[in-house]
Amino acid sequence: MSLLSVRGLQAGYGKVQVLFNGHIEVEPGELVGIVGPNGAGKSTFLGALAGSVKPSSGSIEFQGTSIRGKKPEDIVRLGLALVPEGRAIFTDLTVNENLLLGLTGRRDKSGSAKAIAEVTELFPVLASHRGHQAGLLSGGQQQQLAIARALVSEPKLLMLDEPSLGLSPTIIQDVFGVLNKIQKLGTAIIVVEQRAHLIMSIASRTLVIREGHVRATLSREDAKDETKLAAAYFGAGADHE
Protein backbone atom coordinates (compact mmCIF):
# COMPACT_ATOMS: atom_id res chain seq x y z
CA MET A 1 0.00 0.00 0.00
CA SER A 2 1.29 3.46 -0.91
CA LEU A 3 1.73 6.07 1.81
CA LEU A 4 -0.12 8.60 -0.35
CA SER A 5 -2.36 7.80 -3.29
CA VAL A 6 -4.08 10.63 -5.14
CA ARG A 7 -6.34 10.27 -8.18
CA GLY A 8 -8.20 12.70 -10.40
CA LEU A 9 -7.83 15.63 -8.02
CA GLN A 10 -9.57 18.84 -9.06
CA ALA A 11 -9.43 22.16 -7.24
CA GLY A 12 -9.59 25.90 -7.78
CA TYR A 13 -10.60 29.23 -6.32
CA GLY A 14 -14.24 30.26 -6.51
CA LYS A 15 -15.45 29.57 -10.03
CA VAL A 16 -11.93 29.34 -11.44
CA GLN A 17 -10.67 25.78 -11.75
CA VAL A 18 -6.88 25.50 -11.53
CA LEU A 19 -6.18 21.81 -10.96
CA PHE A 20 -7.83 19.44 -13.46
CA ASN A 21 -6.09 16.14 -12.92
CA GLY A 22 -3.75 15.89 -9.97
CA HIS A 23 -2.44 12.42 -9.26
CA ILE A 24 0.54 11.10 -7.37
CA GLU A 25 1.68 7.97 -5.54
CA VAL A 26 4.28 8.21 -2.77
CA GLU A 27 5.81 5.17 -1.09
CA PRO A 28 7.03 5.33 2.52
CA GLY A 29 10.41 7.09 2.71
CA GLU A 30 10.37 8.09 -0.98
CA LEU A 31 11.36 11.53 -2.29
CA VAL A 32 9.18 12.69 -5.19
CA GLY A 33 9.70 15.94 -7.12
CA ILE A 34 7.16 18.20 -8.80
CA VAL A 35 8.16 20.74 -11.43
CA GLY A 36 6.24 22.91 -13.89
CA PRO A 37 5.90 26.47 -15.17
CA ASN A 38 4.65 29.38 -13.04
CA GLY A 39 0.90 29.25 -12.53
CA ALA A 40 0.68 25.55 -13.50
CA GLY A 41 -1.10 24.67 -10.26
CA LYS A 42 1.75 23.17 -8.23
CA SER A 43 1.03 25.11 -5.02
CA THR A 44 -2.69 24.51 -5.49
CA PHE A 45 -1.97 20.78 -5.71
CA LEU A 46 0.00 20.79 -2.44
CA GLY A 47 -2.64 23.01 -0.81
CA ALA A 48 -5.35 20.54 -1.82
CA LEU A 49 -3.37 17.69 -0.22
CA ALA A 50 -2.75 19.71 2.95
CA GLY A 51 -6.39 20.79 3.26
CA SER A 52 -5.86 24.53 2.78
CA VAL A 53 -7.49 24.40 -0.67
CA LYS A 54 -10.78 22.48 -0.93
CA PRO A 55 -10.79 19.90 -3.73
CA SER A 56 -13.97 19.69 -5.81
CA SER A 57 -13.38 16.16 -7.05
CA GLY A 58 -10.98 13.23 -6.82
CA SER A 59 -9.55 11.03 -4.09
CA ILE A 60 -6.73 11.50 -1.57
CA GLU A 61 -5.80 8.41 0.42
CA PHE A 62 -3.15 8.79 3.09
CA GLN A 63 -2.12 5.53 4.79
CA GLY A 64 -5.21 3.94 3.34
CA THR A 65 -7.63 6.53 4.77
CA SER A 66 -9.43 9.24 2.81
CA ILE A 67 -8.28 12.69 3.95
CA ARG A 68 -10.12 14.68 1.29
CA GLY A 69 -12.18 17.43 2.94
CA LYS A 70 -10.41 17.15 6.30
CA LYS A 71 -9.19 20.30 8.06
CA PRO A 72 -5.50 21.27 7.69
CA GLU A 73 -4.81 20.74 11.42
CA ASP A 74 -6.31 17.24 11.33
CA ILE A 75 -4.24 16.38 8.24
CA VAL A 76 -1.04 17.50 10.01
CA ARG A 77 -1.93 15.31 12.99
CA LEU A 78 -2.36 12.35 10.66
CA GLY A 79 1.24 12.86 9.55
CA LEU A 80 1.10 15.01 6.40
CA ALA A 81 2.84 18.37 6.84
CA LEU A 82 3.32 21.25 4.40
CA VAL A 83 6.03 23.92 4.40
CA PRO A 84 4.28 26.52 2.22
CA GLU A 85 5.80 28.79 -0.41
CA GLY A 86 7.29 31.84 1.32
CA ARG A 87 8.00 29.88 4.53
CA ALA A 88 5.28 31.43 6.68
CA ILE A 89 7.24 31.55 9.91
CA PHE A 90 6.25 33.97 12.65
CA THR A 91 8.85 36.71 12.27
CA ASP A 92 8.02 38.48 15.57
CA LEU A 93 8.47 35.30 17.60
CA THR A 94 11.77 33.71 18.56
CA VAL A 95 13.18 30.62 16.88
CA ASN A 96 12.22 28.57 19.92
CA GLU A 97 8.65 29.91 19.99
CA ASN A 98 8.26 29.05 16.31
CA LEU A 99 9.41 25.49 17.02
CA LEU A 100 6.99 25.20 19.94
CA LEU A 101 4.13 26.15 17.60
CA GLY A 102 5.00 23.07 15.55
CA LEU A 103 4.02 20.94 18.54
CA THR A 104 0.33 21.66 17.89
CA GLY A 105 0.61 19.36 14.89
CA ARG A 106 1.69 16.36 16.98
CA ARG A 107 -0.56 13.34 17.31
CA ASP A 108 1.06 12.44 20.57
CA LYS A 109 1.87 15.19 23.06
CA SER A 110 4.41 13.07 24.93
CA GLY A 111 7.93 13.25 23.56
CA SER A 112 7.57 16.93 22.63
CA ALA A 113 10.86 18.00 24.19
CA LYS A 114 12.63 15.10 22.48
CA ALA A 115 11.13 16.07 19.12
CA ILE A 116 12.41 19.64 19.45
CA ALA A 117 15.85 18.41 20.54
CA GLU A 118 16.06 16.03 17.55
CA VAL A 119 15.00 18.71 15.10
CA THR A 120 17.51 21.25 16.40
CA GLU A 121 20.20 18.58 16.10
CA LEU A 122 19.35 18.40 12.41
CA PHE A 123 19.70 22.19 12.11
CA PRO A 124 22.61 23.30 14.33
CA VAL A 125 22.12 26.93 13.27
CA LEU A 126 18.70 26.94 14.95
CA ALA A 127 20.15 25.62 18.20
CA SER A 128 22.59 28.52 18.32
CA HIS A 129 19.83 31.05 17.50
CA ARG A 130 17.05 29.68 19.74
CA GLY A 131 16.42 32.97 21.54
CA HIS A 132 16.71 35.15 18.44
CA GLN A 133 13.77 36.80 16.72
CA ALA A 134 12.94 34.66 13.69
CA GLY A 135 12.51 37.67 11.40
CA LEU A 136 16.17 38.57 11.88
CA LEU A 137 17.43 35.21 10.54
CA SER A 138 18.83 35.02 7.01
CA GLY A 139 16.65 33.61 4.23
CA GLY A 140 18.33 30.22 4.42
CA GLN A 141 18.00 30.09 8.19
CA GLN A 142 14.29 31.01 7.95
CA GLN A 143 13.78 28.20 5.45
CA GLN A 144 15.48 25.79 7.83
CA LEU A 145 13.24 27.03 10.64
CA ALA A 146 10.13 26.51 8.52
CA ILE A 147 11.23 22.94 7.73
CA ALA A 148 12.17 22.33 11.38
CA ARG A 149 8.78 23.54 12.60
CA ALA A 150 7.03 21.13 10.24
CA LEU A 151 9.29 18.28 11.40
CA VAL A 152 8.37 18.84 15.05
CA SER A 153 4.98 17.28 14.20
CA GLU A 154 6.92 14.14 13.13
CA PRO A 155 5.29 13.84 9.72
CA LYS A 156 5.35 10.62 7.72
CA LEU A 157 5.23 12.78 4.62
CA LEU A 158 6.74 16.26 4.44
CA MET A 159 5.73 18.52 1.54
CA LEU A 160 7.86 21.53 0.62
CA ASP A 161 6.79 24.27 -1.77
CA GLU A 162 9.84 25.79 -3.47
CA PRO A 163 12.26 25.60 -0.54
CA SER A 164 15.09 27.09 -2.64
CA LEU A 165 13.22 30.27 -3.58
CA GLY A 166 15.40 33.34 -3.04
CA LEU A 167 18.35 31.40 -1.64
CA SER A 168 21.94 31.47 -2.89
CA PRO A 169 23.37 28.30 -4.54
CA THR A 170 25.45 27.40 -1.46
CA ILE A 171 22.48 27.75 0.89
CA ILE A 172 20.33 25.73 -1.52
CA GLN A 173 22.90 22.91 -1.25
CA ASP A 174 22.61 23.08 2.55
CA VAL A 175 18.81 22.95 2.49
CA PHE A 176 18.80 20.04 0.03
CA GLY A 177 21.44 18.30 2.14
CA VAL A 178 19.04 18.47 5.06
CA LEU A 179 16.25 17.00 2.91
CA ASN A 180 18.56 14.10 2.21
CA LYS A 181 19.08 13.53 5.93
CA ILE A 182 15.34 13.77 6.64
CA GLN A 183 14.68 11.16 3.96
CA LYS A 184 17.37 8.88 5.42
CA LEU A 185 15.56 9.08 8.77
CA GLY A 186 12.56 7.49 7.02
CA THR A 187 10.32 10.47 6.20
CA ALA A 188 8.80 10.61 2.72
CA ILE A 189 9.11 13.98 0.96
CA ILE A 190 7.39 15.81 -1.88
CA VAL A 191 9.29 18.86 -3.16
CA VAL A 192 7.95 21.43 -5.60
CA GLU A 193 10.94 23.03 -7.27
CA GLN A 194 11.59 25.38 -10.19
CA ARG A 195 15.09 24.03 -10.74
CA ALA A 196 14.30 20.80 -12.55
CA HIS A 197 17.86 19.44 -12.61
CA LEU A 198 18.35 20.03 -8.91
CA ILE A 199 15.27 18.14 -7.83
CA MET A 200 15.64 15.39 -10.43
CA SER A 201 19.10 14.58 -9.07
CA ILE A 202 17.68 13.62 -5.66
CA ALA A 203 14.11 12.50 -6.38
CA SER A 204 13.26 8.94 -7.38
CA ARG A 205 10.59 10.36 -9.73
CA THR A 206 9.63 13.88 -10.75
CA LEU A 207 6.15 14.83 -11.94
CA VAL A 208 5.65 17.61 -14.46
CA ILE A 209 2.51 19.70 -13.93
CA ARG A 210 1.31 21.95 -16.73
CA GLU A 211 -2.01 23.79 -16.87
CA GLY A 212 -3.42 21.83 -13.97
CA HIS A 213 -2.59 18.38 -15.31
CA VAL A 214 0.18 15.96 -14.38
CA ARG A 215 1.63 15.66 -17.88
CA ALA A 216 4.68 13.46 -17.36
CA THR A 217 6.68 11.48 -14.84
CA LEU A 218 10.43 11.74 -15.26
CA SER A 219 13.11 9.43 -13.92
CA ARG A 220 16.48 10.50 -12.56
CA GLU A 221 18.11 9.50 -15.88
CA ASP A 222 15.76 11.81 -17.80
CA ALA A 223 17.61 14.81 -16.30
CA LYS A 224 20.38 14.17 -18.85
CA ASP A 225 17.95 14.17 -21.75
CA GLU A 226 17.39 17.88 -22.48
CA THR A 227 14.99 17.18 -25.36
CA LYS A 228 12.76 14.96 -23.24
CA LEU A 229 12.93 17.42 -20.36
CA ALA A 230 11.97 20.38 -22.53
CA ALA A 231 9.14 18.43 -24.17
CA ALA A 232 7.74 17.44 -20.76
CA TYR A 233 8.08 20.94 -19.40
CA PHE A 234 6.79 22.97 -22.33
CA GLY A 235 4.68 20.41 -24.18
CA ALA A 236 5.72 18.12 -27.00
CA GLY A 237 6.68 20.06 -30.11
CA ALA A 238 6.41 23.40 -28.32
CA ASP A 239 8.76 26.04 -29.61
CA HIS A 240 10.44 27.55 -26.60
CA GLU A 241 13.40 29.25 -28.29
Q: Choose among Mg ion, ligand ATP, none what residue 36 binds, the Cβ cut-off being 5 to 8 Å by kind.
A: ligand ATP
CA dist 219 and 134 (Å) reads 37
Q: Which of residues 125-144 bind ligand ATP (CB under 6 A)?
A: none
Q: What minimum distance in Å lies between the beta carbon of 3 and Mg ion?
A: 23
Our CB check for ligand ATP shows the closer of 38 and 227 to be: 38
Residue 142 Ramachandran class (φ > 0 left, ψ -120 to 50 alpha, else beta): alpha
Burial of 174 (0-12, 13-18, 19+ CB in 10 A): middle
User: Is residue 9 part of the contact set for ligand ATP (CB under 6 A)?
Assistant: no
| Contact in structure between 74 and 137 (CB atoms under 8 Å) | no
Report how far apart, in Å, the C-alpha atoms of 199 and of each of 166, 203, 204, 222 are: 16, 6, 9, 12
Report 63-92 residues binding ligand ATP (CB under 6 A). Answer: 85
Which of 19, 25, 148, 150 lies closest to 82 in space, CA to CA? 150
# residues near ligand ATP by CB under 6 A: 11
Candidate list 1, 15, 38, 227; residue touching ligand ATP; CB under 6 A: 38
Task: Tell me the closest approach of the beta carbon of residue 38 to Mg ion, in angstroms.
Answer: 7
C-beta nearest to Mg ion: residue: 43
- Cβ-based nearer residue to ligand ATP, 39 or 166: 39
Strands 205-210, 31-35: parallel, antiparallel or unpaired by DSSP? parallel
Note whether 153 binds ligand ATP by CB under 6 A.
no
Count other Cβ atoms within 10 Å, centred on residue 107: 10
Under rule CB under 6 A, residue 214 binds ligand ATP: no
Residues in contact with ligand ATP by the rule CB under 6 A:
13, 18, 36, 38-44, 85
